[in-house]
């Protein structure tokens, strides 16, 4: 299986394991079940907008909820809403539930990563397709996202 994400990992020399799904997945819970990992090892990537031009990417473990109040304070905006499927598709050609934090489209955007992502030695990100995930070392994810601000942006689910 090849995607933009696997191609990037290959170019960067990052070791990963492809984890095919028997069924397409669109939630962290389904991804954990399909991949046989704990929910806290699933990394979800959420894309939010202030309704104008500002887009923010939030990266957090699958077992936690995004704390939008904290994120708004960090970004210094009053309004921040999740981008819907139509907007994600139009702007980034992505599907909700299959968004990888290392997508090239995110390189110029503000990104925040919850430190809980880095507590697991190995984590699973999306391959960019609902049909498979990718397992890699959390240290490699952090290395791939040098501009991501590590900050507490989540709370227990």
pLDDT of residue 60: 98
Domain 4-156 sits in which CATH superfamily?
A: YbaK/aminoacyl-tRNA synthetase-associated domain (3.90.960.10)
Domain chopping of the chain, boundaries: 4-156
Q: Taking the model in full, what pTM does it have? A: 0.96
pLDDT band per the 50, 70, 90 thresholds, residue 52: confident
pLDDT for 80-102, tens place per residue?
Answer: 999 999 999 999 999 888 999 99
55-61 and 154-156 beta bridge pairing: unpaired
Strand order in the sheet with 132-137: 17-20, 132-137, 122-129
Nearest to 124 by CA among 2, 22, 35, 59: 35
């Amino acid at each position: 299986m090849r995607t933009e994400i696997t191609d990037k990992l290959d170019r960067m020399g990052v070791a990963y394991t492809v984890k095919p799904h028997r069924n397409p997945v669109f939630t962290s819970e389904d991804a954990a079940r399909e991949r046989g990992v704990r929910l806290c090892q699933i990394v979800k990537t959420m894309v939010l907008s202030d309704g104008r031009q500002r887009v923010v990417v939030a990266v957090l473990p699958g077992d936690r909820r995004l704390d939008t109040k904290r994120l708004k304070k960090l970004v210094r905006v009053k309004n921040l809403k999740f981008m819907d499927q139509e907007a994600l598709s139009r702007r980034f050609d992505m599907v909700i539930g299959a968004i990888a934090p290392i997508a090239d489209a995110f390189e110029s955007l503000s990104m925040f990563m919850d430190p809980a992502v880095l507590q697991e030695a190995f984590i699973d990100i999306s391959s960019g397709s609902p049909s498979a995930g990718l397992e890699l070392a959390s240290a490699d994810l952090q290395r791939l996202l040098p501009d991501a601000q590590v900050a507490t942006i989540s709370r227990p689910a």
